[in-house]
């Protein structure tokens, strides 16, 4: 086991905790769906995000992330797709806040009027997967983060996979706590006035993150 976890497991755990607790697109999206649609929607979004994170872990272990980060064209393509998706979700959330403030059923009204391209991505799991997979900064992160805790070249891939699995499990625990906490506050958060302000806030954050990703560098 020591050959896999390396000589500094506590350093890895401490760094992982700080990274996981830092607000990001996945955490914002999970909050958005939990407040708007309830606990199960939040958990499904979290599950999708974790699947997306797992894809990046496997890509880093297999060396595919190096190809992505080494190609300016590939990196830019994924980056712009991810930014566009976050901007789309942010715009949708801001529109929902206006409908919520008027007392309308935001999701139903939007679903009736939105283009199929948007409603096709309405599944919480798919939203979570896309928000993670289309974020090339995650590819860069895992490609640079995981190797720091590998100290035996002959077990490098297995060690990176083990560290990545632990990271995903820790992220899963945190997102579950995040969803359950928001769900406990649902009676307050789902009041029309409060929900409208929460939707404005999460929508603005998603738009800001989309713009930040659009102008991100490798």
Measured distance CA(111)–CA(105) in Å, rounded: 10
pLDDT of res. 55: 94
pLDDT of res. 41: 94
Measured distance CA(27)–CA(30) in Å, rounded: 5
pTM (2 d.p.):
0.73
Measured distance CA(129)–CA(131) in Å, rounded: 6
Measured distance CA(162)–CA(1) in Å, rounded: 10
Residues lower than pLDDT 50 in the chain: 1, 3-4, 104-120
Output phi, psi for 100, to 5 deg. -65, -40
Query: For residue 163, how far is the Cα from the chain centroid?
Result: 19
Measured distance CA(155)–CA(66) in Å, rounded: 19
pLDDT of res. 5: 53
pLDDT of res. 46: 97
Find out whether 83 and 213 touch, Cβ atoms under 8 Å: yes
Q: Rg (Cα) of the chain, in Å, rounded?
A: 18
Q: What is the pLDDT of residues 139-185, one digit of tens each?
A: 888 888 888 887 666 677 888 898 999 999 999 999 999 999 999 88
Measured distance CA(193)–CA(166) in Å, rounded: 40
pLDDT of res. 99: 64
């Amino acid at each position: 086991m020591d050959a896999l976890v390396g000589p500094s497991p506590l350093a890895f755990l401490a760094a992982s905790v700080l990274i996981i607790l830092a607000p990001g697109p996945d955490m914002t999206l999970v909050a958005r769906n939990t407040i708007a649609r309830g606990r199960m929607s939040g958990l499904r979004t979290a599950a999708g995000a974790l699947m997306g994170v797992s894809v990046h872990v496997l890509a880093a272990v297999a060396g595919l992330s190096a190809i992505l980060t080494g190609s300016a064209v590939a990196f830019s393509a994924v980056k712009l797709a991810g930014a566009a998706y976050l901007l789309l979700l942010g715009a949708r959330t801001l529109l929902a806040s206006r409908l919520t403030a008027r007392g309308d059923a935001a999701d139903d009204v939007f679903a009736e009027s939105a283009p199929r391209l948007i409603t096709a991505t309405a599944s919480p799991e798919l939203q979570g997967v896309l928000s993670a997979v289309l974020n090339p900064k995650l590819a860069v992160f895992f490609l640079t983060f995981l190797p720091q805790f590998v100290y035996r070249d002959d077990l490098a891939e297995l060690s990176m996979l083990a560290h990545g699995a632990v990271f995903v499990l820790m992220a899963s625990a945190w997102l579950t706590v995040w969803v359950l906490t928001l769900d406990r506050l649902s009676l307050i958060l789902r009041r029309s006035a409060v929900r409208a302000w929460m939707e404005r806030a999460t929508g603005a954050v998603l738009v800001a993150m989309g713009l930040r990703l659009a102008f991100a560098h490798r």
